[in-house]
Structure 1
Amino acid sequence: MPLLRKPRDTTASTPPRAHWVVLAVVLSALALALGVEGYTHHLYGNSDYTGPPPGASAMVPREVSHGGPIINGGAGPGHRTAEPRPKTIALTFDDGPDPKWTPKILQVLDRHHVKATFFLLGNEVAAHPEVAREIVADGHEIGVHSFTHADLAAVPDWQRRMEVRESQLAIVGATGQSTSLFRPPFSSENNALDDAAWNVVRQAGEHGYLTVLTTRDSQDWQRGDIQQILRYSTPHGSQGQVLLMHDGGGSRADTVAALDRLIPVLQDKGWRVTTVSDAVGTGDPMRPGTWSDKAAGTALIVALKASHVVLLALTFLLYAAAFLTVLRAVILVVAARRHRRVRKRGWGPEMTGPVSVVVPAYNEELGIEATVRSLLDSDHPVEVIVVDDGSSDDTAQVVESLDLPEMVLVSTPNRGKAAALNTGISLARYDYVVMVDGDTVVEPETVRMLVQPFNDPLVGAVSGNAKVANRDGLLGLWQHIEYVVGFNLDRRLFDLARCMPTVPGAVGAFRRSALDRVGGVGRLTLAEDTDLTMSLASDGWRVVYEEQARAWTEAPATLGALWRQRYRWCYGTLQAMWRHRGTVFQRGAGGRFGRRGLGYLLLFQVLLPLFAPVVDVFALYGLVFLDPSRIMSVWLAFLSVQMFMGWIAFRLDRERAGALWSMPLQQFVYRQLMYLVVIQSVVTALAGVRLRWQRMDRYGSFATSREPASVAD
């Protein structure tokens, strides 16, 4: 299987790049889908806002402002208008179709044998095409009412044309019929037309539309009582009317009830209630749509439904991610506090026997002296075995020149870190082996604290507390926070749950007999420390965390170096998880590790980061199309949880909490980088690419000093 290939069987010097193109395409498609969904449902909406007050009307022709409510605003010097016949009411409905209220209104109309004209919103037609088809099937007329209920007088020409055209396409796609009737949102009577609104009417006429204004407004959008709707809807005299009501845009219960009472009243008074075209005497405004319009309309409806599905899926993922984040925070904090109480009990009689320390070194000349000296300054008896793994610099010469007692230098050809560790283990004289990286400086009590848990005969390995030494810059601070808040809180939880997946290569201790049982350090993955730990757990050994065994290590100082390090870690962890997947089905300690440890890693370190960029895209969507204050509130709540976790973790680790000031910035840059590392690693693993070992650059942070200068506490 691809995840099991050895890291040194390299056939490609760089990982594949095609998946970044795929990721960009996927995120772009998501952004497009969310943009469409946001534009059609959240940018304007179907509110009861009545539009801006009228402006100047010098350009509105007198024959229009004083004419009938049906306007042909086409090109030419004259503009024709028409009005319904006397004692005739053109019954019209705006803002639908609505899946709840439109069918109820259709039932009322059918019961009274009345036809009406429905001015439909394109986005609602796309969302509920079956309701639009029902309107047409019942013999009613339909007209265009824009796509999103935007104020067409206030938008650019291109957007105005798009609003009308897309609404027409949605109608054709849903019903197979096109229409020549049009009503702009927020329109009312002729004398309310200003220059901007007239421009909308004129452009609609140039495209073959008849604009239908109103003469009576039922005011049902006011959410008044039924009597008020009846009062506003009942005409005086005998002049023909165009009555405005609503079948969408909110609750229309009062509209349905008022309509059921209004129609009989009007009919009893001799009024004929009918459609716009019948009231005016024009020809049928509806005709079969063209083949191309039907295809385009169907595609539009499919695209809009797909964007809605995407939004629902992202909403679910957002809630799931938020739930998992909060759940993880609660579990980690509770576990960390309990772990601290448990560890205060100690491990029993003090372990005083000597310990072998193995230091694998490849091109470590800048820091190896500080590492060796710190080990030999331990308050516990040690022998130090430095294995120079074919360094091309002066690592061996630096170590040899120290000429320190209880130190052994072994030079081997370059065969990798795992081979170097196995060489050191084979030369170790004692029952307990501490492994320390060549860029790590330990404190005097570190080795002593590491070996105390071996009082428990079930303990096979002990994880130390690795800390970032070069934390002066912003990148160093972010890694410092990650080590304290992320890695160490996780290790406390893993310790309590007895499912520790990794003893860090920077500092860890092992029972020699446990190492012999699992065959030493494996070479099948790039994360040899994780693979070794999982092998021990699979074999039934307990792996614990000793927070007082502190060691200071160099962290990457550039984004490029950080990427290479974390890419290797993540890819190697995936390899190790795949190798040890069988532990999920084991019994006993090995099965406990598989189900708890691997399950936790899969959920929180693989799946959650994979979906995180999608959640960030959704957050941007919310800032643009939803209430930004709500989105910011959610983000601040999330940040508060992170800050609380950080405060707890820093307190437990006895670190100064001042570094947490950089955590908000960490969410914008560092967190995104870690997500991309996981994505890159997963794609590389699935593609079966053999990844080279990517060694981190050394900066000589420790020089020859025994403690990092940046550590004052």
Structure 2
Amino acid sequence: MASRTNRRGRTPQPPDGPRRRRLPMRLLLPLLVLAALMAMLMLRGYVHSEILADHRVRPAAASDQVPEQILKGGPVIDARSGRTETLDMPDRRLVLTFDDGPDPEWTPKVLDVLKKHDAHAVFFVTGTMASRHPDLVRRMVEEGHEVGLHTFNHPDLSYQSKKRIDWELSQNQLAISGAAGIRTSLFRPPYSSFAAAMDNESWPVTEYIGSRGYITVVNNTDSEDWRKPGVEEIIRKATPKGREGAIVLMHDSGGDRHQTVQALDRFLPQMQERGYEFDNLTEALGAPSAHSQVTGVDLWKGKAWVFLVQASDNITGVLVVGLAIIGFLVISRFVLMLVLSGAHARRVRKRGFSWGPPVTEPVSVLVPAYNEAKCIENTVRSLMASEHPIEILVIDDGSTDGTARIVEAMGLPNVRVVRQLNAGKPAALNRGLANARHDIIVMMDGDTVFEPSTVRELVQPFGDPRVGAVAGNAKVGNRDSLIGAWQHIEYVMGFNLDRRMYDMLRCMPTIPGAVGAFRRTALERVGGMSEDTLAEDTDITMAMHRDGWRVVYAEKARAWTEAPETVQQLWSQRYRWSYGTMQAIWKHRKALVESGPSGRFGRVGLPLVSLFMVLAPLLAPLIDVFLLYGLIFGPTQKTIVAWLGVLAIQAVCAAYAFRLDRERMTHLISLPLQQILYRQLMYVVLLQSWITALTGGRLRWQKLRRTGVVEAPGGPAPRERRPVG
């Protein structure tokens, strides 16, 4: 039947049979996005020496196994091809060397001073810094300076295995290749000093590095600029004796280097006046260049590496901004909820408060039902116990489980059953509206039960002629399970506290389908319930605002609904809710620029709904991504404190919400676990909804399985009421 497969109808279940289970694309894409973000964070952590970095520094050891010619030799050690050769600098030749860069602030200043005085130098760069600032490595090479390796993560190599040493060298070369298209044969070990300081632990490393084709360059003149001793002291330390040549150690990274830059600007002309030349290492030694061009696959591997590192830094930067935004939104929302919900409670609970004249006329209660055989009897009997005169219309939307027959067999007065072919909930509500006898319409779900006072409390705000619709207080009836308790917290804190806030701002975004009331005239003016979205309750509420009606919240109008009891059912429900909310926001987007009665909702309500219900939940996973990253890679203590701080704020809001709703606080015991598990599910659901919206996907209404276990707590036994009308 065509009516059973329309866009808003429920699709029959396929026949049983073996099916190959595949991970649906709508689930796969969110997981891939989250995995990609984690991969970018891991790459950034590695490049910033937060992951796999070893910061241990070994104390000095004995040197009895180091050849005498090394200990008494020059600062250039060539152990390639089994040789053990050292070289000194010729007289009046100074080779300036800069370690630990390139730094985005200080390296350009060092390069500017060198260029100003027509001097060359050797930059021993780390792979982490070269990967992040490839333009500076490229500038070094283009301006005629030499580049050497200083490992990737700057570990003390005497602690490392040969495999790790090879990794440090190859990753360092990869970064230089990607940045400047060259390879280098120069290497300086981290934490090295003079050749005379070589010991039994560092010498085997130097031999191994020589066997890999590298020349090890230490120094024989240390400026000690890292101590920041002052410009004069740096110059004094960097100046060799007499006419001797030297390899001078300086730094262009690792902290504030303004003294180094100032000293360099004075040191260069002073030494040039004394006849000194500032050359590259190979120029000073009259040797072939240490650089060789990289081509082919190796070049593209280097470029790809640099691209990925740049991407990880940029993406992480965006994520950090996103984290700041979500932090601001979360705190802002909590502050608004606490302040405005408290004001709402004080207003409606103030002695003598009333919406206007008491509303005593009968109302029509519409109960759309599709396969609600397990719930419908409880629902109808709870309505029969109502303290307010009502008529009950059960609109059977093509049920196949005998829902209509159950209601008819109850033989209750003033209860009518309206049957229709399956057409969806909005069509069922419109059909009920057409058959209703009264001017106030109450709408509820077929799996919901009312307390005796619910209808009376729900309709009192209509004493104010400006009120077009009223939202009731929906509560989770099956809260004994863990997943039910989590939803209970969400309903009390996330929904009802929100409704108090939005009521005070006069921009209520949603009247819950489980418990809401409308003026018939207001419904008819906006065209009744619409099938344009999957969130018809949000859609109709926004339409009411745009038509100039007030929408308010009645805290005492409690309804008990059956929440999903499995993850799959919860997923289906929230997927429909979030996607439908996006549809409703898009449908009513013109409210942003409208004036008149709908202007307030467009200026305040729609932006807040978009921020708090769509954007903020989409960015919220960043809190947990950075939490996981911080727990694993540090700073662990600060991360835990920050997360506990956010949890404490949420706990305060939740406790306040429970106090306002007079709920027992015991359910809040599961709040921390809810934040770790339940919230993640909601994130992925929202991300899936975004993907569905952006890809133009279409979503059908999905019927949830009900058990009929929910009853209104503390209510009197059902009783028959006299007919009204």
Check the 8 A contact 1:46/1:95 in 2, yes or no: no
* Deviation at residue 68 of structure 1 after TM alignment: 3.2
Structure 2 counterparts to residues 77-92 of structure 1, below 5 A: 78-85=83-90, 89-92=94-97
Match of 2:570 in 1: 562
Match of 1:23 in 2: 30
Residue 379 of structure 1 aligns to which amino acid in structure 2? Answer: E
Check the 8 A contact 1:464/1:551 in 2, yes or no: yes
SS of 2:292's equivalent?
A: strand
SS of 1:669's equivalent?
A: helix
Among candidates 513, 523, 536, match of residue 544 of structure 2: 536
Check the 8 A contact 1:433/1:509 in 2, yes or no: yes
Match of 1:201 in 2: 206
Pair 1:655-2:672 in alignment? no
Pair 1:507-2:508 in alignment? no
* Deviation at residue 333 of structure 1 after TM alignment: 1.7
Residue 52 of structure 1 aligns to which amino acid in structure 2? Answer: R
Pair 1:577-2:585 in alignment? yes
Aligned residues: 703
* Deviation at residue 11 of structure 1 after TM alignment: 12
Of stretches 18-27 and 665-674 in structure 1, the one that deviates more from structure 2 is: 18-27
Match of 1:8 in 2: 9
**Counterpart-to-counterpart distance in 1, 2:234 and 2:56:** 17
**Counterpart-to-counterpart distance in 2, 1:576 and 1:253:** 57
Of stretches 535-544 and 692-701 in structure 1, the one that deviates more from structure 2 is: 535-544
Which 5+ residue runs of structure 1 have no aligned equivalent?
none
Match of 2:721 in 1: none
**Counterpart-to-counterpart distance in 2, 1:497 and 1:111:** 63
Structure 2 counterparts to residues 399-414 of structure 1, below 5 A: 399-414=407-422
Check the 8 A contact 2:477/2:711 in 1, yes or no: no
**Counterpart-to-counterpart distance in 2, 1:603 and 1:29:** 25
Check the 8 A contact 1:6/1:524 in 2, yes or no: no
Check the 8 A contact 1:45/1:150 in 2, yes or no: no
Check the 8 A contact 2:9/2:423 in 1, yes or no: no
Among candidates 47, 56, 59, match of residue 53 of structure 1: 59
Among candidates 421, 425, 440, match of residue 433 of structure 2: 425
Going from structure 1 to structure 2, the CA distance change for 1:458 and 1:269 (only over 3 Å counts) comes to closer
Structure 2 counterparts to residues 80-479 of structure 1, below 5 A: 80-85=85-90, 89-109=94-114, 114-235=119-240, 241-262=246-267, 274-344=279-349, 345-479=353-487
**Counterpart-to-counterpart distance in 2, 1:96 and 1:231:** 23
Check the 8 A contact 2:452/2:716 in 1, yes or no: no
Pair 1:683-2:684 in alignment? no
**Counterpart-to-counterpart distance in 1, 2:580 and 2:120:** 70
Residue 582 of structure 1 aligns to which amino acid in structure 2? Answer: K
Check the 8 A contact 2:447/2:562 in 1, yes or no: yes
**Counterpart-to-counterpart distance in 2, 1:315 and 1:52:** 35
Check the 8 A contact 1:7/1:690 in 2, yes or no: no
Match of 1:37 in 2: 44
SS of 1:214's equivalent?
A: coil
SS of 2:473's equivalent?
A: strand
Structure 2 counterparts to residues 70-81 of structure 1, below 5 A: 70-76=76-82, 78-81=83-86
Going from structure 1 to structure 2, the CA distance change for 1:275 and 1:575 (only over 3 Å counts) comes to closer
* Deviation at residue 509 of structure 1 after TM alignment: 1.2
Match of 1:495 in 2: 503
SS of 1:277's equivalent?
A: helix
* Deviation at residue 273 of structure 1 after TM alignment: 5.5
Going from structure 1 to structure 2, the CA distance change for 1:361 and 1:108 (only over 3 Å counts) comes to closer
**1:83-111 deviation per Cα after TM superposition (whole angstroms, max 9, x unaligned):** 33466544322112234333443454456
Check the 8 A contact 1:94/1:245 in 2, yes or no: yes
Pair 1:636-2:644 in alignment? yes
**Counterpart-to-counterpart distance in 2, 1:541 and 1:213:** 80
SS of 2:151's equivalent?
A: coil
Please tell me the root mean square deviation across aligned C-alpha atoms, in Å: 3.3
* Deviation at residue 292 of structure 1 after TM alignment: 4.3
**1:390-444 deviation per Cα after TM superposition (whole angstroms, max 9, x unaligned):** 3333433433343333323344443332333233333322221211222212122
Check the 8 A contact 1:367/1:703 in 2, yes or no: no
* Deviation at residue 462 of structure 1 after TM alignment: 0.8
Going from structure 1 to structure 2, the CA distance change for 1:689 and 1:632 (only over 3 Å counts) comes to same
- TM-score scaled by structure 1? 0.89
* Deviation at residue 371 of structure 1 after TM alignment: 1.9
Residue 332 of structure 2 aligns to which amino acid in structure 1? Answer: L
Check the 8 A contact 1:75/1:202 in 2, yes or no: no
* Deviation at residue 50 of structure 1 after TM alignment: 8.7
Residue 662 of structure 1 aligns to which amino acid in structure 2? Answer: S
Match of 1:69 in 2: 75
Going from structure 1 to structure 2, the CA distance change for 1:342 and 1:137 (only over 3 Å counts) comes to same
- TM-score scaled by structure 2? 0.88
Check the 8 A contact 2:560/2:711 in 1, yes or no: no
**Counterpart-to-counterpart distance in 1, 2:458 and 2:67:** 92
* Deviation at residue 485 of structure 1 after TM alignment: 0.9
**Counterpart-to-counterpart distance in 1, 2:532 and 2:582:** 12
* Deviation at residue 245 of structure 1 after TM alignment: 1.5
Of stretches 79-88 and 342-351 in structure 1, the one that deviates more from structure 2 is: 79-88
* Deviation at residue 9 of structure 1 after TM alignment: 9.3
Identity of aligned residues (%): 49
SS of 2:176's equivalent?
A: helix
Which 5+ residue runs of structure 2 have no aligned equivalent?
1-5, 15-20, 718-725
**Counterpart-to-counterpart distance in 1, 2:265 and 2:589:** 67
Going from structure 1 to structure 2, the CA distance change for 1:312 and 1:127 (only over 3 Å counts) comes to same
Match of 1:483 in 2: 491
Going from structure 1 to structure 2, the CA distance change for 1:262 and 1:654 (only over 3 Å counts) comes to same
**Counterpart-to-counterpart distance in 2, 1:240 and 1:585:** 75
**Counterpart-to-counterpart distance in 2, 1:522 and 1:392:** 24
* Deviation at residue 336 of structure 1 after TM alignment: 0.8
Check the 8 A contact 1:126/1:174 in 2, yes or no: yes
* Deviation at residue 202 of structure 1 after TM alignment: 2.7
**Counterpart-to-counterpart distance in 2, 1:519 and 1:256:** 74
Residue 8 of structure 1 aligns to which amino acid in structure 2? Answer: G
**Counterpart-to-counterpart distance in 1, 2:515 and 2:114:** 80
Residue 126 of structure 2 aligns to which amino acid in structure 1? Answer: L
Check the 8 A contact 2:131/2:179 in 1, yes or no: yes
Check the 8 A contact 1:84/1:279 in 2, yes or no: yes
Going from structure 1 to structure 2, the CA distance change for 1:138 and 1:587 (only over 3 Å counts) comes to closer
Match of 1:596 in 2: 604
Going from structure 1 to structure 2, the CA distance change for 1:178 and 1:523 (only over 3 Å counts) comes to closer
**Counterpart-to-counterpart distance in 1, 2:402 and 2:134:** 75
Going from structure 1 to structure 2, the CA distance change for 1:575 and 1:271 (only over 3 Å counts) comes to closer
Going from structure 1 to structure 2, the CA distance change for 1:179 and 1:434 (only over 3 Å counts) comes to same
